[in-house]
Structure 1
Amino acid sequence: MGDSSKVSAVSLAAGARGLHATGSRFQAVTLSTTATSFPKTHDKIENVEDTPFFIDNKFLKSATTEYIDLHDPATNYLVTRVPQNTDAELKAAVESAQRAFPAWRDTSIIHRQQVMFRFVSLIRENWDRLAASITLEQGKTFADAKGDVLRGLQVAEAACGAPEFMKGEVLEVAKDMETRSYREPLGVVAAICPFNFPAMIPLWCIPIATVTGNTLILKPSERDPGAAMILAELCQKAGFPEGVVNVVHGAHRTVDFLLDEPAIKAISFVGSNKAGEYIYTRGSANGKRVQANLGAKNHAAVLPDCNKNQFINSIVGAAFGAAGQRCMALSTLVMVGETKEWLPEVAERAKSLQVNAGFEPNADLGPVITPQSKARIESIIASAEEEGATILLDGRGYKPNGYPNGNWIAPTIITNVTPNMRCYREEIFGPVLVCLNVSTLDEAIELINANEYGNGVAIFTRSGPTAETFRRRIEAGQVGINVPIPVPLPMFSFTGNKRSVAGGGANTFYGRPGVNFYTQLKTVTTLWSAADAISRKADVAMPTHS
């Protein structure tokens, strides 16, 4: 596991003591942004600051010598350096969470709810600040970044209903005997987050994990951790005790540490299939609960009777929004019958989208995350040409005025695709729409069900019976009927299936299923004989404590 074998138990403990002793060994720092002062342009940063990590409600400068450079995707200017936390720092985060757990577990659910109320309020106050961090580090347009924050905020708001979610059950099973169930937290849990939703995915984890009484170690993506660091600051301001939320950084070595650390009882992960299947296998082998949402190839079946204009607007937004870097991007069209004749109109609508840096007014989509991502996406587009598909709209080579060095790919549409082509088999994760042609609804269902992924699917039709037939027969976790991206709101939960979920495991990030993931049930059966009852003076005062 990285260089951990070279670090003795003594040095790990010393590192942890150094952190706990008010940072005498590590330098405390503060974030450079506030709710009212944050970047609003893509100008070059003259004095680049390293990203800190977060333990015991303190931001700390890492002692590492290994850093990961993070560049603005619109300019490739350096934004920050992200540390590969040392083994001592990682161990200190675990020990912080362990110290905090007993008291946080015993804190009343009403008090934890009050902390969550304050957390929600602070997210709202820092909404633009969070979105600006996403735009600068991830590349989303500012408007889209605000939506990223909103979908996470909704999970935090729903978590305020924890007193209802945490209720147990009771049943009188015999005379003077009852069995009662309790929901109890697991302990220390961890979250490994992807680059494409820097606020939303941490907010799938922080509220549900902590309001149920767990303590959390969060590892944001090393490509864009800024939003997670702001959320850590808001946790401290909301009143989370020291150690309830900790944030660490790094790449593979940090992931392996979290998977192997015995104190961590559960892992939440969102990301690619290669990483997620590895995390699921290794974490499960170490006895941890693991939930992992992975890749996708989301299809839309288009019927001739649909509202044509609504379909075109829906698919253009769902395929190209966020530069296609969503696991729920509607990236694959299945054109039924004569609907294939509509594709030139789809291309014209897509061509009208404004591709620009995220802080620029009227930008509809920004760059992809890295030059390496751009090169991979362009190689898939090239492979489609080589395999006989048609590039109806080609976004390669695009450069907006003023940003010649960004990771740009404009909307691209590939038609006459067949299932054996690379552009269909692989998740592209870019602003590329692939289009296949079939003759009937039955053929569309058969084609979609044959795909290995099962995150989301949509059908566009005006026919209720057609939609219901599709809904019953389709094999996907999230189905939209005239809805392009059918991700459920937090009163439900994310419900992908097939290879979009590692190992057939849990995929229950929020809602009541999320509470189930982060808690364990305890049943207690008691016998209190009525004959043993004694009377005592009643306490008539209204309780004032929580």
Structure 2
Amino acid sequence: MNKIHNFINGQIVDSASTEYSPVFNPATGEEIAQVVQSTPTDIEAAVAAAKAAFPIWAATTPLRRARIMNKFRDLLEENLDELAEIVSREHGKVHSDAKGEVIRGLEVVEFACGGPNLLKTDMSENVGTGIDSHALRQPLGVVAGITPFNFPVMVPMWMFPVALACGNSFILKPSERDPSAAMFYAELVTQAGFPPGVFNILHGGKHVVDALIEHQDIPALSFVGSTPIAKYIYERGASFGKRVQALGGAKNHMVVMPDADIEKTVNALMGAAYGSAGERCMAISVVVPVGDEVADKLKTRLIEELAIMKVAPGTDNDAEMGPLVTKAHLDKVAGYIAKGVEESAELVVDGRDFKMTREGYENGYFIGGTLFDNVTTDMTIYKEEIFGPVLSMVRAKSYDEAVNMINEHEFGNGTAIFTRDGDAARAFTHEIQVGMVGVNVPIPVPMAFHSFGGWKASLFGDHHMHGAEGVRFYTKLKTITSRWPTGIREGGSAYVMPTME
């Protein structure tokens, strides 16, 4: 059985731990590896390595750091297919989707390659007589990232490339459900020429998270996951004086206006709701058609598309949706479907009816795409994040009703409107209380040079991830005001607030 260990100080390090967590192939249900549960000694070793590497890395010129980052970018591109195969094997998503994940992570690396420009600041001459003022953005030190199972490549790359480009050292705690992708690009980090200790990986569960939160040598934490854990990490981290960005859950709505192109809308909605088996924080899990006529058309076409959607192992070239990540998660999603029926939502297509009969895959964690109609806002399947291929249709009588519904929801991660009406689209983008908005774009994930993050219970902390917000999060601002002697003796001591006159 393959044993997955930590990556500390530039090398894979065996742990003294006797505790391991199983890693499964979701398509077969087979245990394919075991990942170590780090000990306190492992955690201290990783922090010590990162702390020792930080001063030299911070003093390395941004241009030299960028050149190393460029080499890492090239290596990622060369190994894109292999990295995507690892993701498909341990997460279950189809290969094309896994490649898309790697590419989106690669884009953040490309953004981080511009470190010398990203770290430029302001300078003002003669703010007072003979006095100049300028600003610096300096790295924080040892920073840590805690990442989820659904994007084992992309989400870590929202964090560490920007952190490293800014001169920090980094400790990654990936999900124990699919840890191999992180170990693969750790090899690429070494090949690219990042110094030992600049990038480290610690495996484990809550005890590792708590240790990172409490460690006095870690001034900042980044997290992506569920809202309860995001809130916990934010509050605990803040209590230890840390800077924290913690991205939580979502319940993303798509509003479909009466003038929308139904065919294009259905095509977009199928991918947004059922791609990656719905295991995306930006997945559309609620569609809000405005008017019964639009709702009935959508319902008919969605039923037709769900009947032909190919659910298969992610390694199949023509697969459109793979399995869920674990048996426990499969049971959780099935439980939500049962809850929807119990609360009187209309179950139009029941994904629990799907059975994988292909030899060797009978025990995989497969479920079909599910569609509910006539869902109301007081139902559990509307209020809570399911994180599976379950789409709820909530009918709205008007545009205003649809907007109010979204604005009143606990989460505010992503949303979209499909319409041909520029006035409605513009009003929607201004009125909606959500962090990321799409207009005829179903999954409005920002490009790397913009920043990713939601509102309300979808984000805890002041900074979104990557883009300019990422640079601000991983640096601290220092403003310097200076005056140089002119050789002219000035007056004696002054005991008043200085003014720049």
Q: TM-score w.r.t. structure 2 length?
A: 0.95
Q: Within 2, Cα distance between the matches of 1:530 and 1:489?
A: 49
Q: Within 2, Cα distance between the matches of 1:222 and 1:495?
A: 24
Q: Within 1, Cα distance between the matches of 2:261 and 2:420?
A: 7
Q: 1:360 aligns with which of 287, 310, 316?
A: 316
**Aligned residue number for residue 333 of structure 1:** 287
Q: Within 2, Cα distance between the matches of 1:308 and 1:434?
A: 17
**1:361-376 equivalence runs, <5 A:** 361-376=317-332
**1:44-193 equivalence runs, <5 A:** 48-172=1-125, 173-193=127-147
**Aligned residue number for residue 465 of structure 2:** 509
SS in structure 2 at match of 1:434: strand
For the 8 Å contact 2:453–2:465, the answer to whether it is kept is: no
For the 8 Å contact 1:292–1:506, the answer to whether it is kept is: no
* Cα distance per residue 1:473-525 (max 9 Å; x no partner): 111011111100011101110131011012xx134210111000000011111
Q: Within 2, Cα distance between the matches of 1:304 and 1:77?
A: 47
1:469 Cα offset (Å):
1.4
* Cα distance per residue 1:268-315 (max 9 Å; x no partner): 000011211111111111011100111000001111101111100000
Q: Within 1, Cα distance between the matches of 2:380 and 2:258?
A: 28
For the 8 Å contact 1:54–1:247, the answer to whether it is kept is: yes
Q: Within 1, Cα distance between the matches of 2:442 and 2:331?
A: 28
1:361 Cα offset (Å):
2.2
* Cα distance per residue 1:130-157 (max 9 Å; x no partner): 1111111111111111011011000000
For the 8 Å contact 1:67–1:82, the answer to whether it is kept is: yes
| Equivalent position amino acid for 1:199 in 2 | V
Q: Within 2, Cα distance between the matches of 1:369 and 1:417?
A: 26
For the 8 Å contact 2:247–2:453, the answer to whether it is kept is: no
Q: Does 2:361 match 1:408?
A: no
Q: Within 2, Cα distance between the matches of 1:233 and 1:443?
A: 52
Q: Within 1, Cα distance between the matches of 2:78 and 2:282?
A: 28
SS in structure 2 at match of 1:54: strand
Q: Within 2, Cα distance between the matches of 1:498 and 1:525?
A: 38
**Aligned residue number for residue 441 of structure 2:** 483
For the 8 Å contact 1:293–1:507, the answer to whether it is kept is: no
* Alpha-carbon RMSD: 1.0
For the 8 Å contact 2:254–2:442, the answer to whether it is kept is: yes
1:399 Cα offset (Å):
2.4
**Aligned residue number for residue 334 of structure 2:** 378
Q: Within 2, Cα distance between the matches of 1:531 and 1:491?
A: 47
**Aligned residue number for residue 223 of structure 1:** 177
* Cα distance per residue 1:442-465 (max 9 Å; x no partner): 111111111110001100110001
Q: Does 2:193 match 1:235?
A: no
**Aligned residue number for residue 151 of structure 2:** 197
SS in structure 2 at match of 1:241: coil
For the 8 Å contact 1:194–1:271, the answer to whether it is kept is: yes
Q: TM-score w.r.t. structure 1 length?
A: 0.87
SS in structure 1 at match of 2:351: coil
Aligned residues: 483
SS in structure 2 at match of 1:147: helix
For the 8 Å contact 1:68–1:83, the answer to whether it is kept is: yes
SS in structure 2 at match of 1:299: strand
**Aligned residue number for residue 379 of structure 2:** 421
Segment of structure 1 superposing worse, 181-190 or 487-496: 487-496
Q: Within 2, Cα distance between the matches of 1:183 and 1:340?
A: 51
Q: Within 1, Cα distance between the matches of 2:35 and 2:211?
A: 17
**1:15-54 equivalence runs, <5 A:** 48-54=1-7
1:531 Cα offset (Å):
5.2
Q: 2:220 aligns with which of 266, 275, 291?
A: 266
Q: Does 2:416 match 1:462?
A: no
Q: Within 2, Cα distance between the matches of 1:174 and 1:351?
A: 73
Task: Provide structure 1 residue ranges, at least 5 long, that are not aligned to the other structure.
Answer: 1-47, 533-546
Higher relative contact order (CA 8 A, sep 6+): 2
| Equivalent position amino acid for 1:473 in 2 | E
SS in structure 2 at match of 1:377: helix
1:422 Cα offset (Å):
0.9
* Cα distance per residue 1:146-204 (max 9 Å; x no partner): 01101100000011111111012111212221011001000000000000000001111
Q: Within 2, Cα distance between the matches of 1:351 and 1:397?
A: 12
**Aligned residue number for residue 24 of structure 1:** none
Q: Within 1, Cα distance between the matches of 2:84 and 2:178?
A: 12
| Equivalent position amino acid for 1:219 in 2 | K
Q: Within 2, Cα distance between the matches of 1:479 and 1:418?
A: 23
SS in structure 2 at match of 1:526: strand
Q: Within 2, Cα distance between the matches of 1:222 and 1:408?
A: 20
Q: Within 1, Cα distance between the matches of 2:140 and 2:301?
A: 53
| Equivalent position amino acid for 1:99 in 2 | A
| Equivalent position amino acid for 1:446 in 2 | N
| Equivalent position amino acid for 1:490 in 2 | A
Identity among equivalent positions (%) equals 45
For the 8 Å contact 1:138–1:224, the answer to whether it is kept is: yes
**Aligned residue number for residue 527 of structure 1:** 483
Q: 2:230 aligns with which of 269, 272, 276?
A: 276
Q: Does 2:255 match 1:297?
A: no
SS in structure 1 at match of 2:27: coil
| Equivalent position amino acid for 1:368 in 2 | L
* Cα distance per residue 1:68-98 (max 9 Å; x no partner): 0111111111111011111101100000001
SS in structure 1 at match of 2:144: strand
Q: Within 1, Cα distance between the matches of 2:4 and 2:174?
A: 12
Q: Does 2:451 match 1:473?
A: no
SS in structure 2 at match of 1:331: strand
For the 8 Å contact 1:83–1:250, the answer to whether it is kept is: yes
Q: Within 2, Cα distance between the matches of 1:238 and 1:530?
A: 48
For the 8 Å contact 1:496–1:507, the answer to whether it is kept is: no
* Cα distance per residue 1:363-414 (max 9 Å; x no partner): 0010011111111111111111111111111110422323110111111001
| Equivalent position amino acid for 2:90 in 1 | E
